[in-house]
Structure 1
Amino acid sequence: MDAEDRIDGPLARLIGVMMLGGFMALLDATIVNVGIGTLAAHFGAPLDTVEWTASAYMLTLAAAIPVSGWAVDRYGGRAVWLAGLALFTAGSLLCALAWDAGALIAFRVVQGLGGGLMEPTLLTVLARAAGPRRAGRTMALMSVPMTLGPILGPVAGGLINEYLPWRWMFLVNLPVGALAIALAVRSVPRGAPDGTARRPLDVLGLLLLSPGCVAVMYGLSQAATAGFGAPRVVAGIALGAALVLAYVVHALRPRVAPLVDLRLLSIRPYAASVAVMTLVGGVLFALLFLIPLYYQQVQGHGVLSAGLLLVPQGVGAFFGMPIAGRLSDRVGARALVPAGGAIVVLTTLAYTQAGTDTSPLWLGACSVLCGLGLGFIGAPTMASVYRSVPAESTSSATGTLYVLNQIGAALGITVVTLLLQDRVSDGASRAEAFGTAFWWMVLAAAVLVVAAFSLPGRPDRGAAIGSAVAEEPARDSAVS
C-alpha cells in the first residue's frame, strides 16, 4: 500500500472525533422508541401522543438534511458540525427537563434539527478529507456508528428504562456532546475546499424539497399503523410526491443552482450507488424492526432481551466493514456488494423458517453473518458514491443519498408492519406472519444483489476526482 493511501494521523483523529458525535445522534434516533410506554405512563398522556416524540425527531431530521449540504459549502464543515452538535446537545438537555408530553415533543424537534445537520455533514467532511484513494477505508470506519447506533439504541434504551429514570435517555448525551464539541473545535477542518462554489440559498428549492420529504416520511410512518388507504396517509404521500416532483422540475431548470443537484443522477455509477443505498436502508431498518419483534411476539422474550439478541448483527457488521472498506479500495464495489447481498439473502432465509422453539444461538449465528454481509454492502457502496462525483459536488451528492436512504428505511418498516398485520388478520399464527415478512426481506435483498452489478468496478488508481481535497485537513489544521 502506498503511503498516500494510508489513513494517517490527522485523518484518523478526524474520523474518531466525528464518529463520536455521529454515534450519539444515531443512537438517540432509536433509544427513545423503547421508552414510549414509560414516557406515556410518566406524563399521563395517550400512547399515540407520546409516539410523536419519535416521529417529531424523524420528521425534523428529514427536513434538515437537504439544507445541510448547502450550509457546508457556504459556511464550512466545522461551523455546520458544531451547530449540529450544539443544537443536539441543547435539545437533549431540554428533553431531560421536559414537564409534559407537548414540551418533550417540541424539544425533540430541536434534537432532530441538530441530527439533520450532523449526519450528512459527517459524510461530506470525511469524504473530502479522505479523497477517492482512501474512500473505502474511511467509509468503512464511518459506517460503524451508522450501523451500530440503530442496533444499540434499543439496548441502551432498555437498560435505562430497566434501571434508571427516563430522563437518562437524554442526559446520557450531555457529557458525550460536550466532549464532541471540544474535540471538534480542534480537529474538524474549517471552511470549504478550494474551488467549492459558495452558492446562494435556493429558497424555492428549500420550500419544495424539505416539506416534500417531511410529508412523504409522515405518510409512510402513518401507513405502518393505518394502512396506505387511510386519508392522512394518502394526503401525506400525495402532497409530498407533488412537492418533490415540483422540486425536480425546478432543480433541472437551466441556470438554477439547486439545493440538491439532481443532475448528478445522470452519472451512472453514482445513480447505481444511490439506488443500492436506498435498498440497504429498507432492508436494514426492516430487519432491525422485525428481529426484536419476532423474539418478543413469537419466542416470548422481554424488551431488553430482544434488544440484546440484535447485537450479533452489529458484531458482524463491525468486523465486516473494515475488511470490505480495505478491499473496496482495491477491487471496487461490484466485486463485494453482490457477495454481501447474497450473504444477507441466505442468512435471512433462516428467519423465514424460524418458529417458537428455534434456537436463539442458531439465529444469533445467522445474524452475525447477516451483519457481515451488510458490512460488505454499505462501506463499498458509499465509497463508490464519492468516487463517482466531482469533489465540489460531494455535499449535494450526500444530500440525495441521505434523503433516499431515509425514505427507503421508512418504506421498509411500513411494508413489513403491514404484512404482519394483514397475515395476522387473515388468521395466520404469529410465526407464520413473521415468516411471510422475512420472505419479503429475502426478495428485497435479492433485488439488491441484482442492482449491485451496476456498481462501478475496480477503482482507477490514477483518478483525479476528489484529489483536490485530499490535502484539506493538512491545510486547515494549520488554521485551527
Structure 2
Amino acid sequence: MSTETQPAPEPETEKLDGRVLVIAGVVVLGAIMSILDITVVSVALETFKQEFDATAAQVAWTMTGYTLALAAVIPMTGWAADRFGTKRLYLLAIVLFAAGSALCALATSLPMLVAFRVVQGLGGGMLMPLGMTILTRVAGPERVGRVMAIMGIPMLLGPIFGPILGGWLIDIASWHWIFLINLPIGVAAIIYAAKVLPRDHVEPSETFDWLGMIMLSPGLALFLFGISTIPETGTFFATKVVVPVVVGIVLIAAFVPWALNRRNIHPLIDLRLFQNRNMTVAVLAMSLFAISFFGAGLLFPLYFQQVRGEDAMNAGLLLAPQGLGAMITMPIAGMLADKIGPGKIVMTGIVVITIGMGMFSTLTDTTSYAFLLTSLFIMGLGMGGTMMPIMSAALATLREHTIARGSTLMNIVQQVAASIGTAVFTVLLTNGLQDKLTPSTPPDEISSVTAGVYGDVFVVAAVLVALVLVPAFFLPRRKVEHELDPAVLVGH
C-alpha cells in the first residue's frame, strides 16, 4: 500500500506497532550513516593535513563541501518526494551516499576527496528530511512525537560515537576506512529499505520550480560558504566572508516573494506553511536552539583536547553522558508531546540545558571530571526533551504532501542555524584566546587562561539557550489538534 494513500492510524492507538518500528529501523540506519560520517571525518582532519601536505583551511573543505551539498539538495527533497515517491528517492539517496563513500576512499588528492564529499553530501542531504517524511506518514500525526524521538537516536549517537569510531579506524587501519565503513551499512540499508518501505504510488503532476532552485540552492550554498569561512578569517568582515554571505542573502531574499506569488503553485520551499502558527513558532525555536546548542557543542571535545590533553577518542568517550541523558528523556518526551503538547516539554528541557550549560561556564583547567560529566548528563536530559518535540510541533498538524515540505523546511533551518552557531562560537573562542594568550603569558598559566576563555564562551551559550524559552512559550501546551484550514494544507 502506498504511503500517499494509506490511512493514518486511529488516534486511540497509543503504541508504535511493529510495522512502524520496522520502517523506523530503515530510517535510523540511513540517518546514522549521514550523521556519523560528519563527526567521523572531523577526527581525520589532522590526518588529511599530513596525507595531502595541506593547510588546515584547505582540509576544512572536506567538511565544507559536504555541508554545501546538503544545502543545495535539501530544498529539492520535498518536491522530489512528492514527484517520484519517498521509497525511490530514499533508495537513490542511500546509493549516492554509498557511492560517494567508495569514491572518497579511492581519492588520491585533496581536490578529488572534496569533490567526492560533495557526492556524499547530495545523498546525505536527502536522508534526514526523507526519513522524517516516511516516519510521519506511516505513524500518523497522532504519534508524531514518538516517531520524532526515534529520529533523534542517530542525532545523539553520531556526535558521541563518531570521534571514537573515527579515531579507532585511523589508529588500527588508515583514513580510507572511515569511508569504507559506510559500504556494508549502505548495502544493508538498500536491501532493508527495498523490502520494508511501502511501495510508492504517485501521480506525477507537479512542475519543478526551476527559478526557485536557481535562487534558493545557490543562495543557501553561498551563505553557508561565507559563514563556514569565518573561522578561517577570524572575523565577520573579511571580503571572503562578506561577499558570498551578501550574495547568498540577496538570492534567498529574492526567493521569498517568488515563493509566495500566487502564480507559483508549487514553490521549491512552501513558505505558505508559515500560515501554520505551530510551524512558525517551531522554526523560530529550532533556529535559536540550533545556533546555541549545536554551536556550543563543538566546544566540549575541544576543551577536553586543548585544556585537558585528551585525544579524540577519549574526548568522544567523555561526551557519552550527554547521549545517555538524552536517551533517557527522549522517548518519554516524545510520548508526552503527543499527549499534552510539546510546549511544556520543550520549556522544561531548555531550563535543564541552561543549568547544565551554566555549570560549564565555571570551567577551570582543574575542574573535576565528575562535575564535567554530571553537567553533560544534565544537558543531555534537557536535549532529549527539546529538539525532537520542537520538530513534532512543526509536523504534527501537517497532512500528506505538506509533511514532505514541512520536514524539508525544518531540516534547512536546522542546517543553516547549526552552521551559523558553529561559526559564531568558533570566532568567540578564537578571538578570546588571541586576546588573553599573549607571548608574555607564562607557560604554566596557559591551560588556566585557556580554560577561562572556554568558560566565558559558555556563558554566552547559556544565555542563548535560555532565550529559546521565548518562542518555546508559544508552542502548543495541550494535545495538538490535527485539522488545518484546507487552504493552508494545499498551499494555495
**TM-score clears 0.5:** yes
> Which residue of 255, 271, 277 corresponds with 1:262?
271
Separation of aligned partners in 1, 2:159 and 2:72: 20
Deviation string 1:255-285 (CA, Å, 9 cap, x unpaired) is 2120111111122111111111222222332
Separation of aligned partners in 2, 1:202 and 1:266: 21
SS in 2 for 1:45: coil
Q: Against the structure 1 CA distance between its residues 43 and 225, is the aligned structure 2 distance closer, same or farther, given a 3 Å change threshold?
A: closer
SS in 2 for 1:136: helix
Is the Cα–Cα contact under 8 Å of residues 87 and 114 in structure 1 kept in the other structure? yes
Structure 1, unpaired ranges of 5+: 467-480
Separation of aligned partners in 1, 2:436 and 2:111: 38
Is the Cα–Cα contact under 8 Å of residues 209 and 244 in structure 1 kept in the other structure? yes
SS in 2 for 1:5: coil
Give how far 1:208 is off: 0.6
Q: Against the structure 1 CA distance between its residues 40 and 243, is the aligned structure 2 distance closer, same or farther, given a 3 Å change threshold?
A: same
Is the Cα–Cα contact under 8 Å of residues 341 and 480 in structure 2 kept in the other structure? no
Is the Cα–Cα contact under 8 Å of residues 325 and 378 in structure 2 kept in the other structure? yes
> Which residue of 239, 254, 257 corresponds with 2:247?
239
Is the Cα–Cα contact under 8 Å of residues 391 and 410 in structure 2 kept in the other structure? no
State the match for 2:210 in structure 1. 203
Moved more, 7-16 or 156-165: 156-165
Give how far 1:163 is off: 2.1
State the match for 1:334 in structure 2. 343
* 2:449 pairs with 1:435: no
> Which residue of 236, 239, 247 corresponds with 1:228?
236
Give how far 1:302 is off: 2.0
Separation of aligned partners in 2, 1:444 and 1:55: 25
Separation of aligned partners in 1, 2:155 and 2:428: 27
Structure 2, unpaired ranges of 5+: 1-9, 438-448, 486-492
> Which residue of 479, 482, 491 corresponds with 1:459?
479
Moved more, 224-233 or 282-291: 282-291
SS in 2 for 1:388: coil
Is the Cα–Cα contact under 8 Å of residues 97 and 121 in structure 2 kept in the other structure? yes
Separation of aligned partners in 2, 1:75 and 1:273: 28
Matches within 5 A, 1:308-457: 308-427=317-436, 429-457=449-477
State the match for 1:475 in structure 2. none
SS in 2 for 1:344: helix
Separation of aligned partners in 2, 1:344 and 1:163: 36
Deviation string 1:382-434 (CA, Å, 9 cap, x unpaired) is 11111233333111111211111111101111111111122222226211211
State the match for 2:55 in structure 1. 46
Runs of 4+ in 1 over 6 A off after TM superposition: none
Moved more, 407-416 or 299-308: 299-308
Is the Cα–Cα contact under 8 Å of residues 77 and 192 in structure 1 kept in the other structure? no
Q: Against the structure 1 CA distance between its residues 192 and 280, is the aligned structure 2 distance closer, same or farther, given a 3 Å change threshold?
A: farther
State the match for 1:61 in structure 2. 70
Separation of aligned partners in 1, 2:263 and 2:173: 56
State the match for 2:92 in structure 1. 83
Give how far 1:43 is off: 2.4
Is the Cα–Cα contact under 8 Å of residues 270 and 389 in structure 1 kept in the other structure? no
For 1:188, give the aligned amino acid: L
Give how far 1:303 is off: 2.1
Is the Cα–Cα contact under 8 Å of residues 391 and 465 in structure 1 kept in the other structure? no
Give how far 1:2 is off: 6.8
For 1:274, give the aligned amino acid: V
Separation of aligned partners in 1, 2:60 and 2:435: 27
- Give TM-score, length-normalised by structure 1: 0.93
* 2:130 pairs with 1:121: yes
Give how far 1:3 is off: 5.5
Matches within 5 A, 1:67-216: 67-191=76-200, 198-216=205-223
- Give TM-score, length-normalised by structure 2: 0.91
Q: Against the structure 1 CA distance between its residues 230 and 303, is the aligned structure 2 distance closer, same or farther, given a 3 Å change threshold?
A: same
| % identity of equivalent residues | 38
Give how far 1:192 is off: 5.6
Is the Cα–Cα contact under 8 Å of residues 212 and 241 in structure 1 kept in the other structure? yes
State the match for 2:441 in structure 1. none
Is the Cα–Cα contact under 8 Å of residues 384 and 456 in structure 1 kept in the other structure? yes
How many residues are matched? 463
Is the Cα–Cα contact under 8 Å of residues 248 and 262 in structure 1 kept in the other structure? yes
For 2:173, give the aligned amino acid: L
For 1:441, give the aligned amino acid: A
